[in-house]
């Protein structure tokens, strides 16, 4: 369908009231997240922290394979729902015996007018940042489908300092480079070391978790959680506009994913803090990962351990084991 026809159909069927932004605020009031549809019916979101922009208006959607209409534009809002959660749970092991899961949620149910396909976007706003994912409900208009690319954007509010390694499908064995976002392209070649497994995928692609620091001193981390039956996400930078777009790992045929409804994507996470320790202290990733499926975890015990090489050395030269 041509774009002009798509827009005419969208504007005819979508009430003006549903073009208005939906907003949620974090429990502590420090974060505000807004969802809206732009003039083309594309889903967008933005994130602020203490009235400072963290993610500017950014598009959401998918490019599909062998489909004349992608999941990008022409949506209308069918329904929205806001809820909140405040609970605690006990991890099997880790730094804490109890973790608080406290957030406010916005659920947006969308329909693409021309195809009648349904898409749900679920946002959860915590006191340390944002998590969101796509959900594909069971539906007649969409059964099996293949992903050419996920089009999630993260529009940065400035030319931040980034601590990055090149995007690579095969390895994470790189030294971190510290640079401005605008310098990634020029520094990509020097980021490669004599390592046969290193094959950067694009001139401005980096891996997650990506840590950045703004000129105002905000620490921003982009990553993912609950990566299950889905391709891992890299980030491709448009260094003219300072917009990251998700870049999924393909299979041998270049397909980024085969899904059938009902299905869901991993969570995309944006963790924000005023210090590096705020990022480390965030429990967003833990709270968004799936709960343990092991019912009886009593047999899992924390313990100290060392390498066999180290133990052999101590036994041979010191006559003792730790």
Residue 312 has pLDDT above 70, yes or no: no
Q: What is the pLDDT of residues 69-94, one digit of tens each?
A: 889 999 999 999 999 999 999 998 88
Is the whole model's pTM more than 0.75, yes or no? yes
For residues 27-37, give the mean pLDDT.
97
Q: How crowded is residue 53: how many other Cβ atoms within 10 Å of its Cβ? A: 16
Sorting pLDDT into bands at 50, 70 and 90, what band is 194?
A: confident
**Per mean pLDDT, which range of 84-93, 216-225, 292-301 is the poorest?**
292-301
- Give residue for tokens 């659920």: 107
For the chain, what's the residue count?
Answer: 322
Of the candidates 51, 33, 39, which has an alpha carbon nearest to the alpha carbon of residue 14?
39
The Cα–Cα gap between 49 and 274 comes to 10
Question: Going by C-beta distance under 8 Å and a sequence separation of 6 or more, which residues neighbour residue 177?
Answer: 163, 164, 165, 184, 187, 190, 191
In the block, residue with structure tokens 């502590």? 28
pLDDT in tens, 45-63: 999 999 999 999 999 999 9
- What does the alpha-carbon distance between residue 131 and residue 285 come to, in Å, rounded to a whole number? 9
Check if the beta carbon of residue 110 is closer than 8 Å to that of residue 10: no
Average pLDDT over residues 6-35: 71
| Residue tagged 């992608």 (tokens) | 70
CA distances from 63 to 18, 44, 179, 245, 300 (A): 24, 16, 31, 12, 43
HEC-encoded secondary structure of the chain: CCHHHHHHHHHHHCCHHHHCCEEEECCCCCEEEEEEECCCCCEEEEEEECCEEEEEEEECCEEECCCCCCECCCEEEEEEEEEEEEEEECCCCCCCCCEEEEEEEEEEEEEECCCCEEEEEEEEEECCEEEEEEEECCECCECEEEEEEECCEEEECCCCEEEECECECCCCCCCCEEEEHHHHHHHCHHHCCCCCCCCECCCCEEECCEEEECCCCCEEEEEEECCCCCCCEEEEEECCCCEEEEEECCCCCCCCEEEECCEECCEEEEEEECCHHHHHHCCHHHHHCCCCCCCCCCCCCCCCCCCHHHHHHHHHHHCCCC
Report how far Cα 54 is from the mean position of its chain's Cα atoms.
Answer: 14
- How many Å apart are CA 244 and CA 208, to the nearest integer? 11
How many Å apart are CA 123 and CA 105, to the nearest integer?
Answer: 5
234 DSSP β-pair partners: 207, 247
Residue 317: pLDDT over 70: no
Q: In 3D, which of 52, 64, 106 has the Cα closest to residue 83? A: 106
Domains and CATH numbers, the chain: 3-318 (2.70.98.10)
Q: Which among 180, 231, 173, 221 is positioned nearest to 204, based on CA atoms? A: 180
Q: Report the distance separating Cα 86 and Cα 30, nearest Å.
A: 17
- Over the stretch 107-165, which tens digit does the pLDDT of each residue have? 999 999 999 999 999 999 999 999 999 999 999 999 899 999 999 999 999 999 999 99
**Average pLDDT, whole number, for the chain?**
89
């Amino acid at each position: 369908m041509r774009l002009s026809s798509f827009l005419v159909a969208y504007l005819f069927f979508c009430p003006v009231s549903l073009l208005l932004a939906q907003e949620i605020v974090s429990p502590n009031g420090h974060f505000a997240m807004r969802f809206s549809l732009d003039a083309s019916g594309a889903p967008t979101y933005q994130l602020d922290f203490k009235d400072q922009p963290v993610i500017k208006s950014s598009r959401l959607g998918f490019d599909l394979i062998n489909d004349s209409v992608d999941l990008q534009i022409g949506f209308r809002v069918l329904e929205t729902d806001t809820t909140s959660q405040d609970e605690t749970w006990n991890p099997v092991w880790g730094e804490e015996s109890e973790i608080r899961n406290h957030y406010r949620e916005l659920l947006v149910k969308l329909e693409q007018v021309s195809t009648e396909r349904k898409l749900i976007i679920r946002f959860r706003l915590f006191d340390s940042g944002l998590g969101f994912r796509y959900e594909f409900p069971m539906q007649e208009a969409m059964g099996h489908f293949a992903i050419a690319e996920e089009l999630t954007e993260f529009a940065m509010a400035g030319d931040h300092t980034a601590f990055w390694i090149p995007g690579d499908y095969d390895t994470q064995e790189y030294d971190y480079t510290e640079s401005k976002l605008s310098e990634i392209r020029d520094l990509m070649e020097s980021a490669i070391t004599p390592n046969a497994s290193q094959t950067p995928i694009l001139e401005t692609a980096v891996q997650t978790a990506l840590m950045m620091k703004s000129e105002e001193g905000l620490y921003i981390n982009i990553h993912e959680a609950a990566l299950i039956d889905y391709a891992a996400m890299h980030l491709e930078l448009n260094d003219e506009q300072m917009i990251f777009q998700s870049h999924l790992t393909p299979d041998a045929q270049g397909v980024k994913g085969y899904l059938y409804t009902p299905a869901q994507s991993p969570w995309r996470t944006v963790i924000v803090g005023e210090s590096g320790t705020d990022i480390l202290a965030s429990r967003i990733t833990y709270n968004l990962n799936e709960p343990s499926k092991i019912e009886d975890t009593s047999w899992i015990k924390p313990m100290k351990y060392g390498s066999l090489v180290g133990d052999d050395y101590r036994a041979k030269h010191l006559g003792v084991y730790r």
